[in-house]
């Protein structure tokens, strides 16, 4: 269940990053004004967040506390930058008509990108964590034994 849920969360991040790449390509092809910076930063930082998330998961399995904290710091920073850049792309989209830009980025796609990012950030924190089970408990006795009695 958790794997499916986190797969959906990852898909939302990929779709949001894909929208940012789409916006950048549209602006590059159909605009005389250079407006690609925000979508490029958004796509790049969201793609980088996958790397930091992977490092975080690996550090959890390897039980490296410092690396885990560093990875979650950079993941958070990358996702915040990506979300801010998606907001900047939305703000730029409002100005396309004033700048004589022929890009056909629907405003709805910008809002969808931001909603996907907000959901992918907040939904994992709503799940209750599974309890850890000890796989190797070799120090515990198999059965309780009565104390030895000598004659």
Domain boundaries, the chain: 2-125
Res 81: pLDDT: 93
Residues 6+ apart with CB under 8 A from 4: none
Res 110: pLDDT: 86
The residue ranges of the chain whose pLDDT is under 50 are 136
CA distance 85 to 91: 10
Query: 119 and 12 in contact (C-beta within 8 Å)?
Result: yes
Res 3: pLDDT: 67
Is the pTM higher than 0.85? The answer reads no
Packing angle of the helix pair 2-30, 37-62 (nearest 10 deg):
160
Measured between alpha carbons, how far is residue 6 from residues 1, 11, 133, 140, 151 in Å? 9, 8, 21, 35, 63
Res 8: pLDDT: 80
Give me the chain's average pLDDT, please: 81
Res 17: pLDDT: 87
Res 73: pLDDT: 93
- Nearest partner of 116 among 36, 43, 9, judged by Cα: 9
Q: Any idea which residue has 């996958």 for tokens?
A: 50
Q: Any idea which residue has 């959901």 for tokens?
A: 119
């Amino acid at each position: 269940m958790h794997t499916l849920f986190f797969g959906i969360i990852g898909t939302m991040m990929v779709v949001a990053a894909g929208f940012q790449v789409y916006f950048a390509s549209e602006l590059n092809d159909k605009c005389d004004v250079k407006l690609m910076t925000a979508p490029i930063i958004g796509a790049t930082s969201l793609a980088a967040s996958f790397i930091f998330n992977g490092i975080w998961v690996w550090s959890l399995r390897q039980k490296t506390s410092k690396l885990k904290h560093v990875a979650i710091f950079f993941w958070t920073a990358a996702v915040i930058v990506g979300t801010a850049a998606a907001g900047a792309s939305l703000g730029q989209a409002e100005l396309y008509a004033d700048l004589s830009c022929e890009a056909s980025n629907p405003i709805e796609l910008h809002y969808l990108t931001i909603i996907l990012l907000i959901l992918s950030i907040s939904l994992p924190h709503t799940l209750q964590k599974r309890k850890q089970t000890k796989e190797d408990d070799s120090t515990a006795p198999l059965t309780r034994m009565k104390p030895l009695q000598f004659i």
